[in-house]
Amino acid sequence: MGTTFPPEATESVTDMPEIGLKPANFEVADMIVVVVYFVIVLAVGIWSSVRASQGTVGGYFLAGRSMTWWPIGASLMSSNIGSGLFVGMAGSGAAGGWAVGGFEWNASWVLVALGWIFVPVYIASGVVTMPEYLKKRFGGQRIRIYMSVLSLFLYIFTKISTDIYSGALFIRVSLGWNIYLSTVLLLAVTAVYTVAGGLTAVIYTDTLQTAIMVIGAFVLMFISFNEVGWFPGLEKKYMEAIPKIIVPNTTCHLPRADSYHMLRHAVTGDLPWPGLIFGLTIVATWVWCADQVLVQRSLSAKNLSHAKGGSILGGYLKMLPMFFVVMPGMISRALYPDEIGCVDPKECMKFCGIEVSCSNVAYPKLVISLMPVGLKGLMIAVIMAALMSSLTSIFNSASTIFTLDVWLRIRKNAKEQELMIVGRIFILILVAISILWIPIIQAANSGLLFDYMQSVTSYLSPPVTAIFILAIFTKRVNEPGAFWGLVVGLVIGLIRMAMDFSYTAPSCGQEDTRPAVLKDVHYLHFAMILFGLTALVSIVISLLTPAIPDSELGRMTWWTRNRVTQFDDLENTLEKLPTNGDASTVFTIDKQPGDSESKVDGFQNDSHTQDDKVRIEEPHHSCWKKVFFWFCGISIHPEVKLSREEQMLQQRKLTSIEEVPYWRRVCNINAVILLAINVFLWGYFG
């Protein structure tokens, strides 16, 4: 039902002056800030690339497992908060109020689960990638291949392309540049240190960019709150933010009556509370606990306590976007209702070039309208930091999955240098595919970028979440059950996603002719249904097929993570090893047939004394050749071999989940404090 307004309450499109979002006037100070930012980021990226052990799989993909808690926590934050969040989440806040901030607050709980439940199992099992974990847990190859392909699909269609599009959109709005030119320039800078330095470069630059993001975003937040009259002004003006030109006999131009409620109606709410609490937790568990992009940061920790500390810091940081992203988005609509709140397709087209909505330009509009000289440049740097930190993380993780889980299946005897080069080339392929997907995103999901990202993830990730939870907690689930659960879940999720793209949401004033499964079942509710169905299929098929022998589960589950292995009983193991005259025999954890030694031996050059190294005279290379070798990850030093004792000691260290009691207590206390603050925020804003 719509509300009819008298003629004098509206204006015709022709009566209104043309509205347009003019690019900001950037002065010398702004450009200096942007240039200095890029120079610093490149310097940090190149410095960390040089110091990293980026010629080995372990050094390139897991930073040699040497990271401490604070860069891990910062990288967890910045890897997840890309430019898509600044543009998309601020747009959702402008369109519907602050309930979308629940996506960020939910992360604190799941990050604690990552550090206390999932990471201990991953470390104990000695894996580098998430598909590798499922392969070790269930056996066979088909689940690993399925997970690899699905992960790459999700990265392209929900992460890389949306971040590229939103970053380029911000630059187009701010500088007036062509969106594809902006994309190419962004990717050129990003690729340099991502391709060259691996995870070490990504994490260190993420740490720098987290600081830039938080500082810049808070500066804009305070300026925008001051402009709107602080919190009382926002409460009043947001609810009055009605555009002059509306669509008659509708209410779509009115701010939602529940804009200031986190927990909304269970059925009719735009973000219904069961979906926000339970459905979102299912999706978030995949994002934070089973997705290579974010788990890879925790796996780079030097020990389990540092991984937990990183989760705690990331949990605190994830509570901030509600204040410096969502609320500024609402302020933008309160200050510029005609532009950000437009509902007439012609008006929206004039303002932002998209007929369905201009909510996505809420954050850029604040930047170009409110920020003084110099600070405009800072905010461009903030969005660039968000984009680059997110893209570099995704590129590195996607490259890790393709190289170790796909390429090694094609070329089982691939050498270390080949893997390094393949990983870098694959990043370039990802970029090309993502750019081609941008036009689809521009028209998707009513112009709400954040809704697009979350809905696609809700259709594809719940089956993966179900299988990871069952893999860790239910020893009875076997390979046939897990595989067919994934297949059934994928088919149903793809059907829903195809319907979502086929039946687009109606524009303001149009009748909703979509099937009931689309218009009446929220995507977060669908995630709950899909999760339950996948788990049910997996359990039933597992009970009808032979169980995996308990002796083969090793340290693959929560219940068996502390089992004694050959690496724990080092002295007896070494006595039993055959002596064949080769002091550099490589020993691996649960090495599978066909696995390349270079894959599991990727950490071997990271820690030994000078006396342990047996070197031959190094060949001389020109400076240009050394740069080329560095960029491609080709080591210019002769291979260093380790004795059997050294290899066994190193493998035991890499799979150890032991903690110093003092630091374990510190982490536990801080986790309780984090969750208590989170509960308070939910209760206060709920």
Would you state the pLDDT for residue 539?
96
Report whether 427 contacts 399 (CB < 8 A): yes
Q: How far is it, in rounded angstroms, from Cα 511 to Cα 156?
A: 33
Would you state the pLDDT for residue 508?
66
Report whether 218 contacts 324 (CB < 8 A): yes
Residue pLDDT, tens place only, 384-429? 766 766 676 677 777 777 887 778 777 777 776 777 778 778 877 7
Report whether 636 contacts 626 (CB < 8 A): yes
Counting other chains too, the contacts that 589-593 makes at CB distance below 8 Å and 24 or more residues apart are 589/125, 589/126, 589/565, 589/651, 589/655, 590/125, 590/126, 590/136, 590/554, 592/135, 592/136
Residue pLDDT, tens place only, 276-302? 899 999 999 998 898 877 887 888 888
Q: How far is it, in rounded angstroms, from Cα 627 to Cα 49?
A: 12
Of 207, 194, 214, the closest CA to residue 75 belongs to 207
Of 526, 433, 486, 485, the closest CA to residue 155 belongs to 433
Of 326, 336, 330, the closest CA to residue 243 belongs to 336
Q: How far is it, in rounded angstroms, from Cα 423 to Cα 406?
A: 11
- Cβ neighbors of 118 (< 8 A, separation 6 or more) are 289, 290, 295, 468, 472
Residue 686, token pair as written in the block: 């709920």
SS3 state at 1: coil
CATH level 3 topology of 43-443: Sodium/glucose cotransporter (1.20.1730)
Q: How far is it, in rounded angstroms, from Cα 475 to Cα 292?
A: 23
Would you state the pLDDT for residue 394?
75
Q: Which residue type is seen at 562? A: N
Of 276, 279, 286, the closest CA to residue 528 belongs to 279
Would you state the pLDDT for residue 568?
52
Question: Would you say how long the chain is, in residues?
Answer: 686
Q: How far is it, in rounded angstroms, from Cα 196 to Cα 179?
A: 26
SS3 state at 67: strand
Q: How far is it, in rounded angstroms, from Cα 366 to Cα 91?
A: 12
Q: How far is it, in rounded angstroms, from Cα 510 to Cα 640?
A: 69
Structure pTM? 0.76
- Cβ neighbors of 215 (< 8 A, separation 6 or more) are none
- Looking up tokens 């030994």 gives 608
Report whether 145 contacts 405 (CB < 8 A): yes
SS3 state at 21: coil
Q: What is the mean pLDDT of each run of 10 residues along the chain (686 residues)?
A: 36 36 65 78 67 46 64 79 75 84 90 92 86 87 85 76 71 67 66 55 70 83 89 85 75 77 82 89 91 81 87 90 89 85 77 74 83 78 70 74 79 73 78 67 53 81 94 93 94 89 71 78 91 96 93 88 63 43 36 39 41 47 56 49 60 73 92 93 83
Residue pLDDT, tens place only, 130-150? 888 998 999 888 888 888 888
Q: Integer distance in angstroms from the first to the last C-alpha of the chain?
A: 27
